[in-house]
């Protein structure tokens, strides 16, 4: 894969700060009494380090070397084991709680999604829990993602940025993000293909991988999912 520009990684936490989503995953870890946690697609590790505590092991894994390099330098990084890779690099029977946050599930294409769920199921100890979120395709959130160029000041100087989103096939949205660093006149373009799966489809895929779906929420306050919710938050037990 083409890795992220280091300056984009450096700004990631500012653009994606700690919030109610992280509160949900931390609270669930405590409720479960999790002793070994796997954060799949951990990015910069902003959530991962906050899951660590005495008596609990935490592993953060991400395919981006730039993201993992950043994670290894953040405060508290020494309490986490960091790995560059994907679900194929997870050890079997290695955790009792696994999370995929930041809509990571939508970044995994269909040809790898079933394998990922199978890999996570094998990584979980008997009775272990997987929790993750995905946007509700019925809400069609991508229709608001195309933006006009705006400029903001960052630690790397002025940054001009804009996005373009289009549904290129049913359930497949291409999101193109443009970042123009004005100081050195460098433009960075990131193209992401996001898969919008229905709640019914995800439930079926989880069950096919050997999970039992315990809950599907429509927000971070654990409101039961309804078709008009923006979000689907899954909690499944292996």
> In this predicted model, what pLDDT tens digit does every residue of 23-45 receive, in sequence order?
999 999 999 999 999 999 999 99
Token couple for 230: 């923006």
Per-residue pLDDT averaged across 130-151, rounded?
98
Which residue, chain included where needed, has tokens 């479960």? 32
Per-residue pLDDT averaged across 181-188, rounded?
96
What is the pLDDT at residue 35?
Answer: 98
Per-residue pLDDT averaged across 85-104, rounded?
96
Per-residue pLDDT averaged across 75-94, rounded?
96
What is the pLDDT at residue 79?
Answer: 97
User: Binning pLDDT at 50, 70 and 90, where does residue 1 land?
Assistant: low
**CA dist list (Å): 178 to 155, 183, 188:** 18, 15, 6
Asked whether the predicted pLDDT for residue 144 surpasses 80, the reply is: yes
- 225, 214 contact by CB (below 8 A): no
Q: What is the mean pLDDT of the chain?
A: 97
Residue 59: closest CA among 29, 33, 79, 32: 79
What is the pLDDT at residue 2?
Answer: 73
Residue 131: closest CA among 122, 140, 118, 120: 120
Tens digit of each residue's pLDDT (9 = 90 or more) over 189-235: 999 999 999 999 999 999 999 999 999 999 999 999 999 999 999 99
Per-residue pLDDT averaged across 139-159, rounded?
97
Token couple for 119: 């890999």
User: Binning pLDDT at 50, 70 and 90, where does residue 168 land?
Assistant: very high
């Amino acid at each position: 894969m083409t890795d992220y520009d280091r300056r984009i990684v450096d700004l990631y936490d500012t653009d994606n700060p700690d919030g109610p989503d992280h509160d949900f995953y931390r609270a669930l870890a405590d409720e479960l009494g999790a002793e070994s946690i796997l954060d799949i697609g951990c990015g910069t590790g902003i959530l991962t380090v906050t899951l660590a505590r005495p008596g609990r092991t935490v592993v953060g894994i991400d395919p981006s070397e730039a993201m993992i390099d950043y994670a290894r330098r953040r405060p508290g990084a020494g309490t986490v084991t960091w790995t560059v890779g994907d679900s194929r690099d997870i050890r079997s029977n290695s955790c009792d709680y696994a999370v995929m946050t930041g809509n990571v599930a939508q970044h995994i294409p269909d040809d790898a999604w079933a394998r990922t769920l199978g890999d996570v199921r094998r990584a979980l100890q008997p009775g272990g829990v997987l929790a993750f979120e995905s946007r509700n395709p019925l809400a069609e959130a991508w229709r608001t993602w195309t933006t006009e160029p705006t400029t903001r000041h960052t630690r790397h100087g002025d940054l001009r940025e804009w996005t373009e989103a289009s549904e290129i096939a049913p359930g497949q949205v291409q999101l193109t993000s443009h970042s123009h660093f004005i100081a050195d006149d460098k433009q960075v373009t990131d193209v992401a293909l996001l898969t919008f799966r229905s709640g019914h489809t995800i439930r079926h895929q989880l069950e096919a991988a050997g999970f039992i779906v315990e809950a599907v929420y429509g927000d971070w306050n654990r409101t039961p999912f309804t078709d008009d919710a923006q979000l689907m938050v899954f909690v499944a037990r292996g």
